[in-house]
Amino acid sequence: MQTEAEVEIYLEEIAKSGSILGLESMLGLMEELGNVHRYLKYVHVAGTNGKGSVCAMVSSILRQTGMRVGRYTSPAVFGRREQYQVNGEAITSEEFVRVISEVEAACNSLVAKGRRQPTVFEVETAAAFLYFYQQKCQMVVLETGMGGITDATNIIESPLVSVLTSISMDHMKFLGNDLQQIARMKAGIIKEGCRVVAVRPKQEEVRQVIEEICCQNHAHLAYSSVQKASHLRYCQRGEEMRQCFSYPCRRLEEAGNSAQMGVLQKSFMEIELSMMGDYQIENAVCAIETARALQDLGFSVTDEEICAGLSQARWEGRFSMLCHSPLVVVDGAHNADAAKKLRETLKRGFTNWQIIYIIGVLADKEHEEMLRIMLPLSQQVFTVTPGSPRAMDGQVLAAEARKYHGQVSHCPTVKEAVQKALSVAGGEKSMVLAFGSLSYLRELREALKEIL
């Protein structure tokens, strides 16, 4: 392969085989590549919602310490190369072609030995390990795909910290039909003796699974709790709106209820997030506790570096503002739990706004529950069909949406949906919000550029 276009053709071709869970093929592929993944240090992140945001935040914090940090996330939102970042910079086109070509050669060697062709996610993940090794990364923040225990990323043997974000119903076809099964799959990234940071589960059955697996693996568990964040507010910084909150410094928490408490009552970090959405506060608290887990392992991470890292963290596709006039926001909410969090953001920060939705979903998602949660807050709804083999037909989605809303229209193209939504939006307090699946947001962004 000589060009990025040829790489895209290659990856799209092998993507036709779909998803195959399990580690055997990935282990064989990495053996062909010299098992380079064994020479890297990891923060491994799994969960249902918030993985990408937590990865972005932890990476940004660690960069403040002077480390060379690799970050691998999936799926891509606005382009495949964004999945591979070193110190916040995406892999170049030339490096992307070279690394994928090396992995292709390893795949061909496997097939010649009678082994199956690795899946597209296995190829992309192997490329991440290889690239970060070649880039001499001192730490890799690694996001799982849909699962955990059988996820291609889970070939790593000794993560420094295993992180579990919120866990809810998702990918039931692959992960199980109840929360216990899904939690058990996600918690499969917990390894012997590692540190574990988990967003405190609301469901008792999830908590029991996490604690059981930590106990079996002699892993040290720390829960992160959004309840420790206080004085939540919006802050204006120039033209940028930020979320702000206070969080106790470690020395204040260690003081507990002792006499020192009075002296330390002002010992709070003041956190600013450029990443909007109420749910990002929960993710930020998880990132803070992950940094503290690394402190416990001997890494030097100061409160100042935590604050600076969170302030500078960016994650496209999570309540991201593509345009301010008119306001166009995209959010990757793709299941019921994410929809609830998105709804709370709208109710807290956009009361009395005119909100127009563009929605496209994948067929294996909880689309009806998402519609029930989200549609009461909208004035008008436009549905589309995402460009994915797993996409739900936008016309079928529109028919379902009409059960919950009287102003629903299907648009045959994403560009038409953007045009119509913009024509409806008007006035200062008006927003176009696109959500439901990450798979069509790149096309939406390009359509918006053409129109404006």
**Other C-beta atoms within 10 Å of 257: how many?**
6
pLDDT tens, residue by residue, 347-360: 888 888 999 999 99
Segment 301-312 shows an average pLDDT of 96
DSSP single-letter state for residue 116: P
pLDDT of 254: 55
pLDDT of 363-387, one tens digit each? 876 788 999 999 999 999 999 999 8
Name the amino acid, one letter, at 204: E
Q: What percent of the chain has pLDDT over 90?
A: 68
Domains of the chain (ranges, CATH numbers): 4-226 (3.40.1190.10), 320-451 (3.90.190.20)
- What average pLDDT does this structure show over 213-223? 97
The answer on pLDDT for 266 being more than 70 is no
Give the integer Cα–Cα distance in Å for 40 and 37.
6
Model confidence at 265: pLDDT above 80 = no
pLDDT at 304 over 70: yes
pLDDT band at 253 (very low <50, low <70, confident <90, very high): low
**What pLDDT score was predicted for residue 239?**
66
What is the C-alpha separation between 290 and 26, in angstroms, rounded? 27
Kindly tell me if the per-residue pLDDT of 232 is higher than 80.
yes
- Quote the pLDDT of residue 208: 95
Share of the chain above pLDDT 70, in %: 94
Q: What is the pLDDT of residue 345?
A: 87
Q: Is the pLDDT reported for residue 388 higher than 70?
A: yes
Measure the CA–CA gap between 343 and 350, rounded to whole angstroms: 10
95 exposed, middle or buried (CB, 10 Å; 0-12, 13-18, 19+)? middle
pLDDT tens-digit readout, 124-153: 999 999 999 999 999 999 999 877 899 999
In 3D space, the residue among 304, 303, 308, 293 whose CA is nearest the CA of residue 163 turns out to be 293
Distance in angstroms (rounded) separating the CA atoms of residues 316 and 287: 17
pTM of the entire predicted model? 0.86
- Whether a cis peptide bond, with omega within 30° of 0, leads into 412 is no
Confidence of residue 261 (pLDDT cuts 50, 70, 90): very low
| Contact (Cβ atoms closer than 8 angstroms) between residue 131 and residue 158 | no
Q: For residue 264, is pLDDT > 80?
A: no
| pLDDT the model gives residue 162 | 98
pLDDT (mean) for 261-270: 66
> What was the pLDDT predicted at 389?
76
Q: What integer pLDDT is reported at residue 382 of this predicted model?
A: 97
Sequence-distant (≥ 6) Cβ neighbours of residue 239 within 8 angstroms: 324
Whole-number pLDDT of residue 403: 94
pLDDT (mean) for 320-332: 87
**How would you class 273 by CB atoms within 10 Å of its CB: exposed for 0-12, middle for 13-18, buried for 19 or more?**
buried
Maximum mean pLDDT: which of 76-80, 154-158, 441-445:
154-158
- Write phi, then psi, for 197 (nearest 5 degrees): -120, 125
For the chain, give the number of residues.
452
**pLDDT-wise least confident of 15-19, 32-36, 288-292:** 15-19
With the CA atoms of 422, 427, 429 and 432 taken in that order, what torsion angle do they form, in degrees rounded to the nearest 10? Answer: 0
- Give the model's pLDDT for residue 256: 54
